[in-house]
Amino acid sequence: MRKLAAGNWKMNGTAAALDEVRSLLAAHPAAGCEMLLCPPATLVAGMAAVAKGSALAVGGQDCHPKASGAHTGDISALMLKDAGASHVILGHSERRADHGETDALVRAKAEATLAAGLVAVVCIGETEAERDAGQTLAVIGGQLDGSLPAGATAANLVIAYEPVWAIGTGRTPTLAEIAEVHAFLRNRLRGLIGDAADGVRLLYGGSVKPSNAAEIFAVPHVDGALVGGASLKAADFGAIVAALSA
Ligand code: PEP
């Protein structure tokens, strides 16, 4: 299995930020892992042009479950593909919180992503209150069951475990907590899609940075990272790529 270093730029970046991508590619022309950056939709085509012929894949951060239609302000997986994307992040906790996205909606979006021939990066994770209440595995197990697209395979699905309380806070679970969740997810996924589960990349996300990347990547069943803040700077994301490639 090839490990995956994925970056989520969220609502950050204008065309000038593509210089960071040029710097990243100059420093890591042939990374030992897959690299993916998901900029705002306005930058997908521009980033894809910069990344053309390189080891960097480009993705969207959300899509509509339909391919086209009267849905003002939305964007479809087909449109993202047309702009040069190969992946789409679905069900990020910020979308679940800001836009009330349910597991069923995330699943529909993920299925639209697969139908367009793109890879779905499905995000799940517990809140701090849920962890404190001892509900972590029940919550993420339910999210995985409810968000998993029909037709998922090792090639078209990536799962990102992102504890909500670790996103953008500088706080991370202990390595033992990450290990517990990732082993649980691998097992749960086996029950859902059989042996294909062993090839699905399970990313950890939440305050990954150059200083903690190597220890997190050493945890069993951690097959890469989904990185927010640290993906905006070529030097930081490049250091995480290097840690994953080691
Ligand atoms: C994210 O938003 O997916 C994320 C993990 O953010 P950060 O790395 O900034 O915590």
pLDDT tens, 80-104? 999 999 999 999 999 999 999 999 9
158 membership: H or E segment, kind and range = strand 157-161
Cα(70) to ligand 1 centroid in Å equals: 32
Q: Is the CB of 227 under 6 A from ligand 1?
A: yes
**pLDDT of 21 higher than 90:** yes
Range of the domain at 45: 4-245
Cα(228) to ligand 1 centroid in Å equals: 3
**Which residue lies with its CA nearest to atom 2 of ligand 1?**
228
For residue 162, indicate whether it is catalytic.
yes
* Structural domains of the chain, count: 1
Q: Is the CB of 226 under 6 A from ligand 1?
A: yes
Q: What is the CATH number of the domain that holds 172?
A: 3.20.20.70
For residue 111, indicate whether it is catalytic.
no
**pLDDT of 7 higher than 90:** yes
Cα(32) to ligand 1 centroid in Å equals: 22
Q: Is the CB of 8 under 6 A from ligand 1?
A: yes
**Which residue lies with its CA nearest to atom 4 of ligand 1?**
228
pLDDT tens, 22-69? 999 999 988 799 999 999 999 999 999 999 999 999 999 999 999 999
DSSP string, 60-121: ES--BSSSSSS-TT--BHHHHHHTT--EEEE--HHHHHHS---HHHHHHHHHHHHHTT-EEE
